């Protein structure tokens, strides 16, 4: 019997979301004012960070099973910031507090500074509709 390989692992999803976050940060840095696309991008960053934060324990489960506790704890410490940043950004976007959004984005961008995304990427624009998802007015179609 052969091994079953899951092509949609938590790590691959985290990498995909990280690249899209970088694209959103680029787009937000180019925005002159508050547009619907800016709302969608900020909301997507918040939702993506929350998804990443929720997947951390699943990522380290295999390491803990093999007693790689130090490696698992180091990984948790590297991503410990994602949950609080997601909730801070979510609160700011829902309150339309763009000053807080603007001050939070450089902190997030600093965490993703090593991720490179070319201009000819095939990621699309998955942030469209993220603001409605964040406010609860849409279905579960944003992060897929």
Q: How confident is the model at residue 141 (pLDDT cuts 50, 70, 90)?
A: very low
The residues near 32 (Cβ < 8 Å, ≥ 6 apart) are none
Instruction: Give me the pLDDT at residue 102, please.
Output: 92
Average pLDDT estimate for 125-137: 88
Average pLDDT estimate for 78-91: 96
The residues near 74 (Cβ < 8 Å, ≥ 6 apart) are none
pLDDT tens digits, residue range 16-66? 999 999 999 999 988 878 889 999 999 999 999 999 999 999 989 988 999
pTM score: 0.86
| Pairwise CA distance, residues 18 & 35, whole Å | 23
Please determine, for residue 138, whether its predicted confidence score (pLDDT) is greater than 80: no
Instruction: Give me the pLDDT at residue 142, please.
Output: 47
| Pairwise CA distance, residues 19 & 13, whole Å | 10
Three-point CA angle 61, 64, 66, nearest 5°: 115
Please determine, for residue 75, whether its predicted confidence score (pLDDT) is greater than 60: yes
Burial readout 79-114 (b: 16 or more C-beta within 10 A, e: otherwise): beebeebbebbbebbeeeebeebeebbeebbebeee
Please determine, for residue 83, whether its predicted confidence score (pLDDT) is greater than 80: yes
SS3 call for 88:
helix
Instruction: Give me the pLDDT at residue 33, please.
Output: 81
Percent of the chain with pLDDT over 90: 67
16, 50 Cβ separation under 8 angstroms: no
- Least confident range from 2-6, 31-35, 103-107: namely 2-6
Residues making up the chain, counted from first to last: 144
| Pairwise CA distance, residues 67 & 99, whole Å | 44
Instruction: Give me the pLDDT at residue 52, please.
Output: 95
81, 111 Cβ separation under 8 angstroms: yes
């Amino acid at each position: 019997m052969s091994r079953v390989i899951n092509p949609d692992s938590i790590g691959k999803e985290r990498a995909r979301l990280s690249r899209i976050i970088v694209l959103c940060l680029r787009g937000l840095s180019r925005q002159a004012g508050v547009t619907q696309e800016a709302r969608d991008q900020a909301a997507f960053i918040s939702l993506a960070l929350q998804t990443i934060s929720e997947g951390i324990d699943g990522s380290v489960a295999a390491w803990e099973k093999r007693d790689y506790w130090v490696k698992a704890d180091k990984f948790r410490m590297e991503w410990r910031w994602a949950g609080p940043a997601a909730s801070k950004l979510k609160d700011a976007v829902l309150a339309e507090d763009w000053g807080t959004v603007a001050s939070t984005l450089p902190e997030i961008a600093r965490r993703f500074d090593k991720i490179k995304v070319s201009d000819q990427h095939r990621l699309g624009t998955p942030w469209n509709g993220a603001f409605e998802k964040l406010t609860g007015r849409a279905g579960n179609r944003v992060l897929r």
